[in-house]
Every structure is written in structure tokens, then in C-alpha cells.
Amino acid sequence: MTKLKQLLRAAQGDLPITVRHERWMSSNPNPIYSEKALEFAQQALQRNVGGSRKRARLFRASGMARCPRSRMFTYLGMPKRLDIDSQLAGIFSMGEFIHLRWQMAGITEGWLVSPEVPVESPEIMLGGTMDGVLYDNSGFELKSINSHGYRRVMDFGPKEEHLLQVHAYMIMRKEVSDRFSIVYENKDTSEWREFRVTYDQVIAQKAMNEIESLISNYTSNTLPPMLSSCETKEGYIWRGCEFRDICPSASWPESTDGGV
């Protein structure tokens, strides 16, 4: 999307990041960051901010719409595969730095009031860390995505898993704000677009159904079944799963200390 189109969209609607970020980037092509932003970056790289603190045992909002069996393995602390290759490690690292760049810009310009904000609702076994809180108290979530995915988002709007994720956050902070901004950045071209999401009862119910199903599995000591797509031990979900080595023969662990 061109800069002009971006600004026209922002002028027509409620897009709290777009105009400010666009203006700041245009006047800071070689960004100079504030002390506060530099301090945040240092802490983030030292794994010393909200999202990196010791987490309570909760189902994470960032796992919405993912394989429930894998989410339960994560919750139970089951062992993950260790053989992450350098390419995958590089992809994780690039995503982390794209987040950092946006958060540092937002802190410096002022549209981002707090980066890496933890939210928890232990009564529904749900928690997570938002990418940030904006100046109007709404939430901020950044998604870096390749060109193919970016085109789909431009055509059809935010991905369902991301709508469920931000609704999970909004369920946990419903007293604070019922709005969220999701920014998608095309990591191949650096194009970006902000989508404003307002709390939707139907999507929120879908998110709650997912959580309730996991709670039901947990309280009955039952692992959710394998995805049918993984039964043949093929496909991108299977290949990308960090639990694939233990998944087919896994059973409920004898000790689940730390749960509810």
C-alpha cells in the first residue's frame, strides 16, 4: 500500500498508529531512538522484560487456533525437540528484531506507551504477553509475514488465529479496552498496514470455547487427539512441530506439578 493510501485510510478510520508512525518514519529515515527505547531494547535483548519473565503455568493467547495437543504439551512442560537448525533460528531472530524495531519506534514517537505487557486470567488458565499498549489504552500486536501471506491479509483481512489471539487478550483486559491494532509487516518488502479490531462477541466466544476445551482436557487428564494431518507423519504442521518426536506415543504424565 502506498504511503498516500495508507494515510487516507488512517484519516477515514480509527488507526492510532498509522499517521504517527508514518510521519515519524518519514522524518527519521535513519532513526534516532529515545533513551527509553534504547533501555527497553537492552532489557529485551537481555531477556529481562515482561514477556521473558518467569511465566505462570497458563495456556498462552499466542497459541490460539494451534494444535490443542501441542498446546497441552507446552502447558505440561513436555520435552521439545532440540535440533533447531540455523535457518529456523535465523527466522526466529529476524521476527524478534522486527518487533524490537517497531517497539523502539513506538516508544520514541510516543504511540506505544508500554511494550511487552503481560496479561493473565488464572481463573480461566489463560495468559500471554501483548506486544504493547497504545496511548489510547488499546492493545498492539505486530505480525511479520512473507509476501504470499501479506497479500492474503490485504485481500481478506487479519488471519483468524490472530483475531482469536487479540480477542483472548481483550477477554483478559475487558475492563481496560475493547480495541486492538494489529500491524502486519511484509518482511520481504517492509510494506505494512494497521488493522483496527474491535471486540466481537462471536470471535470472543470462539476463543473461549477453545480455552474451555483445553481446561476440560486438563481436568480430565486427557491429551487432545493428534491432528489427522499429522497421523501420516508428513506435512508442514508435522515437520514444524517441536513435539513431533514424542507426540504419537505420548500419554498423560504421572506428575503435572504446577498446574491448577
Q: Can you tell me the distance from the alpha carbon of 112 to that of 34, in angstroms, rounded to the nearest whole number?
A: 12
**Binders of ligand SF4 in range 72-131 (CB under 6 A):** 73
Q: Which region among 36-44, 63-71, 156-164, 185-193 touches ligand SF4 (by CB under 6 A)?
A: 63-71
Q: Does 25 bind ligand SF4 (CB under 6 A)?
A: no
Rule CB under 6 A: say whether 208 interacts with ligand SF4: no
3-class SS string, the chain: CCHHHHHHHHHHCCCCCHHHHHHHHHHCCCCCCCHHHHHHHHHHHCCCCHHHCCCCCCEEHHHCCCCHHHHHHHHHCCCCCCCCCHHHHHHHHHHHHHHHHHHHHHHHHCCEEEEEEEEEEHHHCEEEEEEEEECCCCEEEEEEECHHHHHHHHHHCCCHHHHHHHHHHHHHCCCCCCEEEEEEEECCCCCEEEEEEECCHHHHHHHHHHHHHHHHHHHCCCCCCCCHHHCCCCCHHHHHCCCCCCCCCCCCCCCCCCCC
Q: Kindly determine how many residues on this chain lie close enough to bind ligand SF4 according to the rule CB under 6 A.
A: 13
**Which string of x and - marks every residue 214-243 that binds ligand SF4 (by CB under 6 A)?**
------------xx--x------xx--x-x
Q: How many Å apart are CA 114 and CA 131, to the nearest integer? A: 9
| Single residue of 67, 107, 166, 197 touching ligand SF4 by CB under 6 A | 67
Interaction between residue 181 and ligand SF4 (CB under 6 A): no
Q: How far is the CB of 53 from ligand SF4 (least distance, A)?
A: 26
CB of 21 to ligand SF4, least distance (A): 35
Residue 247 within binding range of ligand SF4, rule CB under 6 A: yes
Residue 124 or 226 having the CB closest to ligand SF4? 226
Min separation Cβ 244 and ligand SF4, Å: 4
Closest approach, Cβ 72 to ligand SF4, in A, equals: 8
Identify which of residues 218 and 243 has a Cβ nearer to ligand SF4 in the complex: 243
Instruction: Give the phi and the psi of residue 175 in degrees, each rounded to 5.
Output: -75, -15
69 lies in the site for ligand SF4, by CB under 6 A: yes
- Residue 142 or 241: the one with the smaller Cβ distance to ligand SF4 is 241
The residues of the shown chain that bind ligand SF4, judged by CB under 6 A, are 67, 69-70, 73, 226-227, 230, 237-238, 241, 243-244, 247
